[in-house]
Amino acid sequence: MLTGILVVLGLALLVLSHEAGHFFAAKSFKMKVEEFGFGFPPKIFSKKKGGTIYSINLLPLGGFVRIAGENERLLGDDKALESYPPEERRKLFFNQPPWRRSVVILAGITINIVLGWVLFSGVLWVGSSDNLIVAGVQEGSPAEQAGILPQDQILNFKTDAEFIKFGKANGGQAIKIHIERKGEAKEIEVTPRINPAPGQGATGIILAGITPRPLGTALKDGVIMTWQSIAQTFEGLALIFNSLIQYGRLPEGIMGPVGIFSVAQESARVSIVFFIHLLALISINLAVLNLLPIPALDGGRFLLILIEKIKGSPVSRKIEIGINTTGLVLLLLLMLAVTVRDVMQL
């Protein structure tokens, strides 16, 4: 029960942080922010301050921010737009210059990247005294071929540095890895690669067990981990789109909300460090996903602003509404398909 609550709060933090980026950017430009909410309705508590309603809602699945004039324009609600007093209309989102709207839209993505870096750095600074934990296994790697699975615990190495050094020193030679899987001890032979692909290790095992590092080193290495995670997320998304276009199906390993919750809950049971590491990865994934130039996502809205800037006038509202509605429907259908598969696998 406590683990489930921790997972819900952790995942909610990532979404709330994203929305907080939009909120603080909009406030800094004196835009009219109508509501900033934690969770989703029904509403439990609210208080109005400085023209903004701050609310706590029943469903703790993140949060939301309502910037005046943003949704009304997308929905084509002219009556709602005209209801604002003349002195407030200059504070509406769509009346702001393109660069200000761009900053507000991209602020959520920026916060998720910064949060990912902070969490990565914290994991590297604190480290883990637990046995090494397999956070993931790279596709086509020696570890995958040998049968190593995520969440296996490696028993015969104490630190990630020791394991990585041993793997590099024994490229091309079979090594024995002692693991524990669901309470059962196993011995598995893996032959590390001599020349692994860029960004991949000799064995293809992604570790969660971390040796503590000085704060300065942790912050610097956190930047490297953040950049690597961004690159790997783009690579993963490219594989998804390629699979959808070529084969009309999602590749294996892609998870929706149900699958992510399940994995996060299991990681929290195994190790709090593992869980924080996973939250950092999810935060980076949220940032990259929102950056894609897909309608209804932040990247898609930013693309429309770029088009507006290039052509010298806003995109037709009718076209903008059509693009965003189509994008939202496609995203919901994709999410539904992924969720159904998650449930089937569970």
Q: What is the 3-state secondary structure (H, E, C) of 149-202?
A: CCCCEECCCCCHHHHHHHHHHCCCCCEEEEEEECCEEEEEEECCCCCCCCCCCC
Task: Please state, for a pLDDT cut of 90, what percent of the chain lies above it.
Answer: 25
pLDDT value at position 80? 63
Please tell me the pTM assigned to this model: 0.75
* Range list of β-strands (E), 68-160: 132-137, 153-154
Banded pLDDT at 35 (limits 50, 70, 90): very high
Q: Which amino acid is at 240?
A: I
pLDDT value at position 119? 94
114-140: string of b/e by CB count within 10 Å (b at 16+)? ebbbebbbbbbbebbeebbbbbbbbee
Banded pLDDT at 317 (limits 50, 70, 90): confident
Give the other-Cβ count within 10 Å of 245's Cβ.
Answer: 8
Question: Which of 14-18, 113-117, 231-235 is predicted with the least confidence, judged by mean pLDDT?
Answer: 231-235
Section 134-156 average pLDDT: 85
Q: Which amino acid is at 199?
A: G
pLDDT value at position 239? 79
Section 312-335 average pLDDT: 76
pLDDT value at position 47? 93
**345 pLDDT exceeds 70?**
no
pLDDT value at position 136? 79
pLDDT value at position 121? 94
pLDDT digits (tens, 9 = 90+) for 225-282: 999 889 888 887 787 778 777 776 766 656 666 666 666 666 666 678 778 888 998 8
pLDDT value at position 209? 59
Sheet arrangement for strand 205-207: 184-190, 175-181, 153-154, 132-137, 205-207
Task: Please state, for a pLDDT cut of 70, what percent of the chain lies above it.
Answer: 83
Section 153-180 average pLDDT: 85
**315 pLDDT exceeds 60?**
yes
Q: Which two tokens stand for residue 259?
A: 């699958």
CA distances from 321 to 71, 74, 125, 204, 296 (A): 10, 6, 46, 45, 10
* Distance (Å, whole) CA 24 – CA 195: 47
What are the chain's domains? Answer: 2-124+282-345 (no CATH), 129-209 (2.30.42.10)
Section 203-224 average pLDDT: 84
The chain-wide mean pLDDT, for the chain, equals 82
Section 156-164 average pLDDT: 79
* Distance (Å, whole) CA 249 – CA 332: 16
pLDDT value at position 167? 86
pLDDT value at position 254? 63
Greater model confidence, 235 or 111: 111
